[in-house]
Amino acid sequence: MDERVLAKVLIVGNIGSGKSTFAHALGTALGWRRYGIDEARQAHGDGSPAGEARAWAAFLERAESDSSILLECTGAGPFMDLLRLALRRSGHAWTLLWVDTPPEECLRRVERRGLAIPYPDFGVPISQVIPGVARNLARALEESWPRPLHRVEGLGPVEQEVARAVQVLSGWLTRDGRP
């Protein structure tokens, strides 16, 4: 991809949907850096509300930065208005990819691997968090976010989904010579 074009791609999906796996593979295919809220939590969070705010502050700085980057988070929650603002303030084109995985599969994946990051404890079991995120993300995709440029099949082979996404993003980045 043309590195002279400055653009951002936000990858959203439920906890356990495969966002990080997809974003890592897509970043490699595009030659772009990626940054996920989980990396921000590992670097700045401690599971407390203040730690979560520190992690999001770092994530929002990347969203507002003057560079092309893949960003990855659930796309639902209390910081989303600030994330949209940071993306707009960056002054660069941005788009949204949605990793769509059934909540039941997300829960199975999380139960198998656990949550190794300093994820905030909202006092609700993960078996309730994941369906809640699914509902909140569906609502956000209808009401708050722009229409996703591409829906990534969260149960599909990653290599195949990355190839499709690269094709879609290439078209988006080159349409009329700009994003």
pLDDT tens, position by position, 42-65: 999 998 999 999 999 999 999 999
> Is the distance from CB of 36 to CB of 23 less than 8 angstroms?
yes
| pLDDT at residue number 13 | 97
In this prediction, residue 178 carries a pLDDT of: 55
SS3 state of residue 97: strand
SS3 assignment, position 178: coil
10: part of which helix (H) or strand (E)?
strand 7-13
pTM of the model: 0.93
153 Cα distance to chain centroid: 14
- Which of 87-91, 108-112, 164-168, 170-174 is predicted with the least confidence, judged by mean pLDDT? 170-174
pLDDT recorded at residue 179 = 54
Structural domains for the chain: 7-177 (3.40.50.300)
| Beta carbons of 36 and 74 less than 8 angstroms apart | no
Q: How large is the average pLDDT for residues 71-100? A: 95
Rounded CA separation 36/31 (Å): 16
